[in-house]
Structure 1
Amino acid sequence: MPTAPKESATNRSPALRPALPWVIAGIVVLALNLRAPIIAPTAVLGPIQADTSLNAVGAGLLTGLPVLIFALATPLATRWIRRFGPEVVVLLCLSGVLAGTVIRSTGPAWVVLAGTAVIGVAITLGNIAVPVIIRRDVPWRQVSLATGAYSAAMNVGSMLTLLVTAPLAEAVGWRWAIAAWAVLTAIGLVYWLWWSRRLRTRATAAPEPGPTDAPPATSADGVRDTPTPAGASATSSAPATGAVPGPGAGRPRFRLIIVLLTVAFCGQSGAYYATTTWLPTLLSDAMGLAAGASGATASLFQVAAIVGAFGVPVLTLRARGLWVPVAVMGVLWIILPLGLLLAPEAYVLWSIIGGIAQGGGFTAIFSIIARVAVTDAEAASGSAWVQTGGYLVATITPPLAGWLNATSGGWTAPLLLVLVLTVMFCTGGLLAARLAQRPS
């Protein structure tokens, strides 16, 4: 078992690193805004279609378009993080979500879709910024906890949106109902404006120690790093061209870990979005549940993610190994499609188990990235590669599952697709975790 690596050169020094509760608070208030804006329209799709004349394809774009943009706009997010730093990118993210939310709640169908596209680009910036902030500002042993809080907050935001938007729309109309979530975004923006200013003040008052103040740090790969000189940019090692670098250029081991994590996240994202999209319909068709009952049962899949998100840090600390939580979440993921295939009458149990798996799987993948990246540039580029692949697959799998259902006349084929995706998560994640722990 390798020992915990020392903080790498581009982590903040102990004198400059902010208190962990403030970092977690910033991550949580940001994460609350990284999925809720996408989920909000799903609660009022009927009124939106009736008012804007959106057809079924257009209504699907309200959730599918942001996921596609996650994949396509990731290089832009990586470039901006290297150029402006993660705090500025977070401010751009929240400002974009705020603007997109307002735009989406006004005007005809094309304006609704334009606002949705703005939200997708903005959230992509936040998706890439969070792993960089965690790697830089969170102590090594607390990485899984911070990533768990990030994952849990996204699911909490999704559930609050699902619970509140529809009743609010009945009272004030769908436009005001989805626009109301801009208040949450505004709160996050105010927090990060204050927090960024405070960080700049701390940096001015206590400059980074020079290279003579600290011994070279050791990365997760056992590579010796030269401390960053005072005043140097944490991402100064990144190429100046603005192109997205390959993951871990010059570090074959890191590059291989990122490839394996990309496979794992393709399975994770594909299984999550296919299940989220079709589980209510599956329960209605296969078990004869009414729309309300199937929706309530499917919501357990979202709520249980909180258990998985905070379960991974506990498992990591107790087992002292990254592969253990990945293995546990992989098994739970595989149980979901197998359970629905072999014993569909226990659908409540399978929904809860699958929810724990999806929350924990996300946390495990991005905890590994934050642990093995040596620089901010590595954390950003590695996260970008993983998310690009994962969200491209997430764009494809819901319509593919729907096509399989339509052509086969049942849910066996879509569930087999989810099973293949969960096996991908388990295989890629386990290999990446074992490689990340292997001594150089």
Structure 2
Amino acid sequence: MNAAVRAPHPLVLGCGLMLVAFNLRPALTTVGPLLAAIRGETGLGAAGASVLTTLPVLFLGLACVLAPAIGRRLGPDRGILLAAAIVAAGLALRALGGLGPLFAGACIAALGIGLAGVLIPGLVKREFPGRAGLMTGLYTMTLCLGAAAGAGLTVPLQGLFGGDWSLALAAWAAPALLAALAWAPLARPATPVPAAAPGRAIWRESLAWQVTGFMGLQSSLAYILFGWVPLVLHDRGLSTVDAGFVAALMSVGQAPAALLLPTLAAKLKDQRGAALGIVGLTVACYLAVVHGPVALLVPATLALGFGIGGCFGLGLTIIVLRARDTQGAAALSAMAQGVGYTSASLGPLGFGLAHEAFGGWAASSLLFCALAAGAALCALGAGRARQIGFA
């Protein structure tokens, strides 16, 4: 194998990584804008919609549990290639139409998203050790732009396909396949790694559990917003197109925070203040979007995106900063995202069930605020200037 394949230029590697990142959210953000249409056509109830928004997050957690073994066997480079291909396959499956392919495609795509999410922090730690904050920010910003594109363009795609929501959802397989093809030449084979003892030791460290708690709870907030904000906006009187557009603004708002927060946080010795501030902003803006004046929807939604994007970028940055080396970053990433996403799946489910049980969105909002309070509490430990030791 020649040197160019074994060691791609950092700029080329970074661009390939950004292409993959762009496709790690449309599978999750494209369903929400069409949820009203899907429910109207298929008769899917609120409980079924809750399951539809919950299952992908659960499969994200499952993928994170499997990711370390896949990473050891294939290496992070080829593991990310496999992840991108799985995302494309899951998205394409939705073209078959009906609830079965919709649910199955969402779960399959989520497996690929979770696998990539675990492997990328270790690759960033390995390839960009001096620019971990910047690269995490760029990766997260690009991921958020993909989320915005999915939320904002899916309803117009539905119109382009004659009102067929299944084809509109499946169209996102095309850029995912392109990302897989672009990453393929950069995917180096696995190299020998030390024994996996650190992965076992990490489960005994309180700091690792605090990082996991913050990652899981902020993820729960994010997936509540991805799955339910379009329907909340529709209930507030917006058309399906307008609700999708405003939800896309939320994703657009994530991009600058996803770039700025990791870059700034990596320069701070202690990230607790940044975490508490961004969680507080998220809660305030959520309440403005769901319960505030309709006239403030656009700026409040943009600011809500800034808050949730900052939470996610900070969560990934904390994983990298709390680890001492590439192996430690991979182990902590697997734990924080595996356990975190699995527990986060309960957030969208509980949010929807609270809406169905009590009507309106007040009870659901109480749940959202409680989850945010838990994230802030975990941040007090996760944001400390410490690193996890792997004895």
Fold equivalence (TM over 0.5): yes
Higher helix share: 2
Q: Does 1:386 align with 2:336?
A: yes
Which one of 143, 149, 160 corresponds to residue 138 of structure 2?
149
Are residues 379 and 117 of structure 1, via their aligned partners in 2, closer, same or farther at CA, if it must alter by over 3 Å? same
Is the Cα–Cα contact under 8 Å of residues 213 and 378 in structure 2 kept in the other structure?
A: yes
Alignment of 1:78-227 (within 5 A): 78-106=68-96, 109-140=99-130, 142-172=131-161, 173-196=164-187
Are residues 24 and 324 of structure 1, via their aligned partners in 2, closer, same or farther at CA, if it must alter by over 3 Å? farther
Q: Which segment is superposed worse, 365-374 or 174-183?
A: 174-183
TM-score (norm 2): 0.84
Are residues 31 and 280 of structure 1, via their aligned partners in 2, closer, same or farther at CA, if it must alter by over 3 Å? same
Residue 289 of structure 1: CA displacement? 4.4
Q: Does 1:304 align with 2:253?
A: yes
One-letter amino acid of the structure 1 residue matched with residue 74 of structure 2: F
One-letter amino acid of the structure 2 residue matched with residue 310 of structure 1: L
Residue 312 of structure 1: CA displacement? 0.8
Residue 310 of structure 1: CA displacement? 1.5
Residue 304 of structure 1: CA displacement? 0.8
Alignment of 1:363-378 (within 5 A): 363-378=313-328
> Secondary structure of 2:24's match?
coil
1:75 matched residue in structure 2? 65
Is the Cα–Cα contact under 8 Å of residues 211 and 382 in structure 2 kept in the other structure?
A: yes
Is the Cα–Cα contact under 8 Å of residues 18 and 137 in structure 1 kept in the other structure?
A: no
Are residues 343 and 174 of structure 1, via their aligned partners in 2, closer, same or farther at CA, if it must alter by over 3 Å? closer
Q: Does 1:315 align with 2:264?
A: yes
One-letter amino acid of the structure 1 residue matched with residue 138 of structure 2: A
Residue 85 of structure 1: CA displacement? 0.9
Residue 70 of structure 1: CA displacement? 0.8
Is the Cα–Cα contact under 8 Å of residues 58 and 345 in structure 2 kept in the other structure?
A: yes
1:125-147 Cα offsets, whole Å, 9 max, x none, are 1111111111111123x212211
Are residues 125 and 307 of structure 1, via their aligned partners in 2, closer, same or farther at CA, if it must alter by over 3 Å? same
CA distance in 2: counterparts of 1:55 and 1:436, whole angstroms: 47
1:217-239 Cα offsets, whole Å, 9 max, x none, are xxxxxxxxxxxxxx972x32325
Residue 74 of structure 1: CA displacement? 1.8
Residue 187 of structure 1: CA displacement? 1.8
CA distance in 2: counterparts of 1:46 and 1:331, whole angstroms: 30
Is the Cα–Cα contact under 8 Å of residues 66 and 120 in structure 1 kept in the other structure?
A: yes
> Secondary structure of 1:55's match?
coil
Q: Does 1:248 align with 2:239?
A: no
One-letter amino acid of the structure 1 residue matched with residue 213 of structure 2: V
Is the Cα–Cα contact under 8 Å of residues 32 and 231 in structure 2 kept in the other structure?
A: no
Are residues 18 and 364 of structure 1, via their aligned partners in 2, closer, same or farther at CA, if it must alter by over 3 Å? farther
CA distance in 1: counterparts of 2:166 and 2:305, whole angstroms: 30
Would you say how many aligned residue pairs link Structure 1 and Structure 2? 380
Q: Which has the larger radius of gyration?
A: 1
Is the Cα–Cα contact under 8 Å of residues 322 and 434 in structure 1 kept in the other structure?
A: yes
Q: CA RMSD in A?
A: 3.2
1:238-280 Cα offsets, whole Å, 9 max, x none, are 25xxxx933636xx6xx32221112212321222222333334
Which one of 40, 44, 54 corresponds to residue 55 of structure 1?
44
2:3 matched residue in structure 1? none
Is the Cα–Cα contact under 8 Å of residues 133 and 266 in structure 2 kept in the other structure?
A: no
Is the Cα–Cα contact under 8 Å of residues 266 and 421 in structure 1 kept in the other structure?
A: no
Is the Cα–Cα contact under 8 Å of residues 53 and 227 in structure 2 kept in the other structure?
A: no
> Structure 2: 5+ residue runs without aligned partners?
1-5
Is the Cα–Cα contact under 8 Å of residues 80 and 116 in structure 2 kept in the other structure?
A: yes
CA distance in 2: counterparts of 1:119 and 1:283, whole angstroms: 26
1:25 matched residue in structure 2? 15
1:325 matched residue in structure 2? 274
CA distance in 2: counterparts of 1:178 and 1:298, whole angstroms: 16
> Structure 1: 5+ residue runs without aligned partners?
1-15, 201-230
1:281-300 Cα offsets, whole Å, 9 max, x none, are 44455x55455444433333
Residue 307 of structure 1: CA displacement? 1.8
One-letter amino acid of the structure 2 residue matched with residue 67 of structure 1: V
1:302-327 Cα offsets, whole Å, 9 max, x none, are 21111211121443366554334323
CA distance in 1: counterparts of 2:16 and 2:358, whole angstroms: 47
TM-score (norm 1): 0.76
Q: Does 1:261 align with 2:261?
A: no
CA distance in 2: counterparts of 1:90 and 1:317, whole angstroms: 24
Are residues 133 and 177 of structure 1, via their aligned partners in 2, closer, same or farther at CA, if it must alter by over 3 Å? same
